[in-house]
């Protein structure tokens, strides 16, 4: 969901995990001139066609081929968990974005899937406090952003499995703790 805290959580996790890097879907938006406009004049940013998804997939594959040379800063994570000691060979890529599970070429890549949810009122409130370039036009949230969120969320629920849903109204600390614990468990499984 837009304004659910995806980027903030990803950045905080990066500081807590060993050899961790982030690829953000926001870095793959097409320029405004290439984004379609609907009959109401809304720029259609909340659809897959507004993104260079093939480039994103290439970036992920390139990282996976050689994560050690991907520019990941080798550092000891903050508050190192026992399971993360001696993890020089562990590399973690966090891919964050809003339409990740709706793009088929990505679905074979995920070890874990997290999906942040927000109720309509909270999402609209948070969205109204953000400044976008280009700026949201009047009615854009109700006319495009929220309907596209619901459409893609329903599509994801029909096609994606093993998604961990997280309540975006919970505190960042609570969400971070939940995700971190889950990732630690996943790392344990992968190392067994």
Active site positions, annotated: 26
In 3-state terms the chain splits into helix, strand, coil percentages (rounded to 5) of 50, 10, 40
- Closest to 2 measured CA to CA, from 163, 150, 161: 150
The Cα-based distances of 183 to 14, 61, 111, 139, 172 in angstroms read 12, 21, 9, 39, 16
User: In a 3-state reduction of DSSP, which class is residue 62?
Assistant: helix
| Calpha distance 19→17 (Å, rounded) | 7
User: What count of other Cβ atoms lies within 10 Å of the Cβ of residue 69?
Assistant: 9
Please check whether residue 156 is in contact with residue 102, taking contact to mean a CB–CB distance below 8 angstroms: yes
Please check whether residue 145 is in contact with residue 50, taking contact to mean a CB–CB distance below 8 angstroms: no
CA count, 13 A, side-chain hemisphere, 48: 16
């Amino acid at each position: 969901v837009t304004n659910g805290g995806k980027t903030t959580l990803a950045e905080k996790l990066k500081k807590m995990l060993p050899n961790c890097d982030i690829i953000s879907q926001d870095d793959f938006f097409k320029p405004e001139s290439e984004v379609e406009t609907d009959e109401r004049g809304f720029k259609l940013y909340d659809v897959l066609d507004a993104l260079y998804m093939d480039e994103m997939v290439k970036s992920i594959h390139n990282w996976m081929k050689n994560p050690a040379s991907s520019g990941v800063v080798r550092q000891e994570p903050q508050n190192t968990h026992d399971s993360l000691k001696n993890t020089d060979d562990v590399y973690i890529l966090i891919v964050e974005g809003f339409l990740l599970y709706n793009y088929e070429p990505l679905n074979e890549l995920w070890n874990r899937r997290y999906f942040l949810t927000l109720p309509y009122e909270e999402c609209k409130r948070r969205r109204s406090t953000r400044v976008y370039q280009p700026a949201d036009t009047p009615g854009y949230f109700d006319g495009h952003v929220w309907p596209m969120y619901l459409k893609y969320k329903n599509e994801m629920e029909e096609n994606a499995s093993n998604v961990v849903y997280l309540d975006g109204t919970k505190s960042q600390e609570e969400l971070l703790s939940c995700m971190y614990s889950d990732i630690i468990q996943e790392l344990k499984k992968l190392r067994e």
